[in-house]
Amino acid sequence: MKFGILINEGPFTHQASDSAYRFAVAAMEKGHEVSRVFFYNDGVNNASKLSEPPQDDRNLVKLWSAMAQEHGVDLVVCIAAALRRGIKDENLADGFRISGLGQLIEAGIINDRLVVFGD
């Protein structure tokens, strides 16, 4: 099965990003494909290379970046939501790219399922 994922919450305020990451890892371990993860609303904060969680805490930004590099998952950040939160190309973490809502629509069309995490 081919999955697209939509994340609407940031990495440090809700469980949604953790759950989405764990879902993606589990799906790929079972042989499924995760083609695109779209970060929307506060979810765009998952893409900021400026965040520095404590050393004993998980670093979701680095985990998403590693997933993109290792598995070729397309990590797309909504441009409008990103700009509202001060996230621009120069402070995106590795593996993320900024684009528009058309990428979310496309994810819903090209995948078997679009799984949403967060409100």
Q: How far apart are CA 118 and CA 95, in angstroms?
A: 22
Residue 8 pLDDT > 90 = yes
Contact 81, 44 (CB under 8 A): yes
- Tell me the H-state helices in 1-119: 16-29, 60-71, 79-84, 102-110
Residue-number span of the structural domain to which 101 is assigned: 2-117
Entry pTM: 0.95
Q: What is the CATH number of the domain that holds 76?
A: 3.40.1260.10
- Across 20-49, average pLDDT: 97
Q: Length of the chain in residues, anyone? A: 119
Q: How far apart are CA 70 and CA 64, in angstroms?
A: 10
DSSP state of 58: -
Contact 110, 1 (CB under 8 A): no
CB neighbourhood size of 82 (10 A): 24
Residue 70 pLDDT > 90 = yes
Q: Which of 47, 78, 98, 107 is catalytic?
A: 78
The pLDDT tens digits for 101-114 are: 999 999 999 999 99
Residue 29 designated active-site: no
The pLDDT tens digits for 59-69 are: 999 999 999 99
How many folded domains does the chain comprise?
1
pLDDT of 90: 96
Q: Residue 98 forms beta bridges with which residues? A: 77
